[in-house]
């Protein structure tokens, strides 16, 4: 029985890997990365604007977001530059992401925190001191973001799989270390977003409310109430 179960499990893993590789080979290549001259310190403030943005995970799947338009800070584009004029690799390097399921690469802690050897030992130790009481995958993602010092940070359900005490430590670190950044949090736990400047409330993929927690709670007709 054990041998059979092991064989079936291994077969599932192999088939999943094959299917994933096949899926990757069928992905349409991105357009040529024609880099334009962009200041190295861009974005300097982290102002963000969405204009009629719709999104779905696959062309055959329904839209997750429908025609979203909103300003996170009052400017028409990200620090006055349209991201359509910014190279993809440059753009991705300027946005830090703390995902729900962070990746851990084979190697040392240092190689995971600094895969491109961009920081010296003193910088790494300072970052490690910030969250030295934690030991989790999310912790390493937070450290990477601290090292990068980008002006835009996206947190995607980062503490969904950690206990309450770990959640509190991570949230405190995010509030302290990224207080000068534009932070977009995707969360279901209200305690992780209640102190945000404004909260986006979505229903059926559409943005229905966008206001401070105080104003939303004061409005008895609010769907956040």
The rounded average pLDDT for each run of 10 residues, N- to C-terminus, in the chain (225 residues) is 53 58 72 65 75 85 86 50 74 86 80 88 85 68 88 83 78 84 83 84 87 89 80
| Within-domain flag for 217 | no
| Within-domain flag for 201 | no
| Within-domain flag for 203 | no
- Which range marks the domain in which residue 78 is found? 43-82
Position 188 scores a pLDDT of 77
The reply to whether 73 and 131 lie within a common domain is no
Position 220 scores a pLDDT of 87
Position 20 scores a pLDDT of 65
Position 58 scores a pLDDT of 80
How many domains is the chain built from? 2
The reply to whether 160 and 66 lie within a common domain is no
Q: Backbone phi, then psi, for 157, in 5-degree steps?
A: 50, 40
The reply to whether 94 and 187 lie within a common domain is yes
The reply to whether 146 and 162 lie within a common domain is yes
**What CATH number is attached to the domain comprising 110?**
3.40.50.300
Position 191 scores a pLDDT of 79
Helix (H, G, I), strand (E, B) or coil at 222: coil
User: Cβ neighbours of residue 102 under 8 Å, at least 6 residues apart?
Assistant: 137, 138, 140, 141
Position 169 scores a pLDDT of 79
Rounded Cα distance, 17 and 10, in Å: 11
Tokens of 75: 């400017």
| Within-domain flag for 58 | yes
> What are the contacts of 110-113 at 24+ separation with CB within 8 A?
112/140, 113/140, 113/143, 113/144, 113/147
The reply to whether 67 and 134 lie within a common domain is no
Position 81 scores a pLDDT of 62
The reply to whether 75 and 98 lie within a common domain is no
Q: What is the pTM of this model?
A: 0.71
| Within-domain flag for 172 | yes
| Within-domain flag for 2 | no
Position 136 scores a pLDDT of 65
CB count in 10 Å sphere of residue 214: 9
Position 18 scores a pLDDT of 63
| Within-domain flag for 181 | yes
| Within-domain flag for 6 | no
Position 128 scores a pLDDT of 82
Rounded Cα distance, 192 and 20, in Å: 33
Position 7 scores a pLDDT of 52
DSSP E strand boundaries for 87-136:
95-98
Going 25 to 31 to 36 to 39, the CA torsion angle's sign is negative
């Amino acid at each position: 029985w054990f041998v059979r179960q092991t064989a079936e499990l291994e077969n599932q893993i192999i088939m999943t890997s094959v299917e994933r590789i096949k899926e990757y080979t069928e992905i349409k290549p991105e357009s040529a990365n024609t880099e334009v001259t962009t200041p190295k310190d861009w974005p300097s403030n982290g102002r963000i604007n969405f204009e009629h943005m719709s999104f779905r995970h696959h062309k055959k799947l329904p839209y997750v977001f429908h025609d979203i338009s909103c300003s996170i800070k009052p400017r028409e584009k990200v620090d006055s530059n349209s991201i359509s004029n910014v190279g993809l690799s440059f753009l991705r390097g300027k946005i830090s992401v703390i995902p729900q399921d962070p990746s851990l690469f084979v190697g040392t802690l240092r190689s995971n925190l600094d895969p491109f050897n961009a920081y010296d030992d003193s910088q790494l130790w300072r970052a490690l001191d910030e969250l030295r009481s934690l030991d989790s995958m999310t912790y390493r993602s937070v450290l990477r973001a601290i090292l990068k010092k980008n002006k835009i940070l996206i947190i995607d359900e980062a503490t969904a799989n950690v206990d309450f005490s770990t959640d509190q430590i991570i949230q405190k670190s995010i509030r302290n270390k990224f207080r000068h950044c534009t932070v977009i949090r995707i969360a279901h736990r209200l305690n992780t977003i209640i102190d945000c400047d404004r909260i986006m409330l979505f229903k059926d993929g559409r943005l229905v409310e966008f206001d401070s927690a105080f104003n939303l709670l004061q409005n008895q007709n609010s769907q956040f109430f």
